[in-house]
Structure 1
Amino acid sequence: MEINSGIIIDGVLHEMIELIDASSLNFDCSKCSLNKECKECKMEHESYLCNVMGCFCFVSRGKVTDIKTEEEKE
């Protein structure tokens, strides 16, 4: 699986879903995989993670077992 943008927290990959990709989603903040972290960020910094990162939401893709960079793929 190739992921272009995401965040790894405690070994779990959370992929950023961009606004363009989200047009077919019926989504609300409660379904975001970083909802808990976002609430903490909002309380401390008065901004949501999706606004800071420039995306629509985050989707959990599960535990990360192997990460390869572009150099390793060649």
Structure 2
Amino acid sequence: MNAVTEQRKVLLEIADLKVHFDIKDGKQWFWQPSKTLKAVDGVTLRLYEGETLGVVGSRAAANRPSPAPLLVW
């Protein structure tokens, strides 16, 4: 942190965000554990007053899990 960021109000703080999905690829037996897709793994950020955060995704992202982990306060 520097002197400028210490004076501004933190609006959003995310620490060690992880979004993991269990996936089955059809190549494993039923007793084998599913594989894990780590979509987000260990992201930390702070959004200060006056800053802008943009979330960008593909058009198909509307049918996928949303950035809901970011919206839980």
User: More strand per residue: 1 or 2?
Assistant: 2
Larger Rg: 2
In terms of fraction of residues, the more helix-rich structure is 1
TM superposition score normalised by structure 2: 0.27
TM-score by length of 1: 0.27
